[in-house]
Amino acid sequence: MHAAEKTLETPSIDAVSALARDDMQAVDRLVSSSLESDVALVSQVSRYIVASGGKRLRPLIVLLAARAFDYAGEQHVRAAATIEFIHTATLLHDDVVDSSSRRRGKDSANTVFGNQASVLVGDFLYSRAFQMMVDMDSMRVMRILADATNTIAAGEVMQLMNVHDPDTTEDAYLQVIYRKTARLFEAGAQIAAVLAGRTDAEETAMIEYGRSLGTAFQLVDDALDFDASPDELGKNLGDDLAEGKATLPLIVAMRDGSAEQRELIRHAVLEGGLDDLQRIQSVIESTGALQYTAARAQEAANQAIDALSDIPDSDYKEALIAIAEFSVRRRS
């Protein structure tokens, strides 16, 4: 069934979380025990960022997808925790690279503990994730996660190469967000199918679901950087612009704006900073760049939903659909 044909009301995000409550509590216990270290600062920084909130969508997808495939084992909990550790490590490293001061509405870990501690604890979380992969005793799962982690790192380097480049294309931007964000969503959904021993077709469906969902999620995130309050966003408004990142709203505004508007944004991307943020927000609004970005996000979310069409119906499948719908209507 195509996403546009869906008429049944999908559950709320709270109902989705409730559906996976027992599994998520098991993930939380495993995360907590895995953060233990005889080096006090490691535990302190790790707990700070893990306890700082976040939607926990990546582990939630692993848990729901595994249950949608009637998986009856316990390795989905370990896989979900591993995904969360990889994601958390990337956050620690990202905030150092981007000199970010806010994360999830709080001071970022590098602001509180310093860059050195953030980088090194990020390394600890990466290595702990690989220890947990080994514990799953599945070469297939290890390969998926190892490849995903390598792709994420390459995506970070690609993004660094694009910083202060106003000529970044939409295709180049989409490549970065696939590598940086969507790849881990994709890996989590795929692992659920692998653990459940599902068919190649079902595994491919979950790959497409994760990839499309991650794309939608990042597109909305980049739009919110110009269209949300700092409290909603959990970080400083215009952070991407301040860092000289040409995200899709800026790419479209330069493409469709006047020569004067284009030059305004080009200068801001080249130089970084937020001196012209209000004027640039006006250009983004007048050129329809946010609407374009939202449309691309909706298209990706619909692709994610369509990918589930041949997955057996269940409350867990409906929950996966609800997450795709939530990804394009969220405000933080």
Per-residue pLDDT of the chain (332 residues; tens, 9 = 90+): 444 444 346 687 788 888 999 999 999 999 989 988 888 888 888 888 877 767 789 999 999 999 999 999 999 999 999 999 999 999 899 888 877 877 766 888 888 888 898 999 999 999 999 999 999 999 999 999 999 999 999 999 999 999 999 999 999 999 999 999 999 999 999 999 999 999 999 999 999 999 999 999 999 999 998 986 655 555 567 888 989 999 999 999 999 999 999 999 999 999 988 889 999 999 999 999 999 999 999 999 999 999 999 999 999 999 999 999 999 988 76
- Domain of residue 35, residue span: 3-319
Residue-level pLDDT at 110: 86
- The enclosing domain of 123 has a CATH number of 1.10.600.10
Domain membership flag for residue 329 = no
pLDDT at 53: 67
pLDDT given at position 2: 47
Shortest CA distance to 26 belongs to which of 65, 70, 78, 64?
A: 78
User: CB under 8 Å, gap of 24 or more: what pairs does 267-270 form?
Assistant: 268/241, 269/164, 269/165, 269/166, 269/241, 269/244, 269/245, 270/164, 270/166, 270/244
In a domain, 332, yes or no: no
Residue 201, in any domain of the structure: yes
The predicted pLDDT at position 227 comes to 86
Number of domains in the chain: 1
Task: Determine the pLDDT at residue 238.
Answer: 81
pLDDT for position 1:
41
326 located within any domain: no
Q: Is 331 contained in some domain?
A: no
Buried b (16+ CB within 10 A) or exposed e, 190-209: bbbbbbbebeeebbebbbbb
Judge whether 104 lies within some domain: yes
pTM flag (> 0.85): yes
pLDDT, position 69: 97
Res 6: pLDDT = 45
Q: Is residue 218 part of a domain?
A: yes
Residue 273's pLDDT is: 80
Q: 253-258 — which CB contacts under 8 Å span 24+ positions?
A: 253/280, 253/283, 253/284, 253/287, 253/289, 254/166, 256/287, 256/288, 256/289, 257/283, 257/286, 257/287
Task: Indicate whether 209 belongs to any domain.
Answer: yes
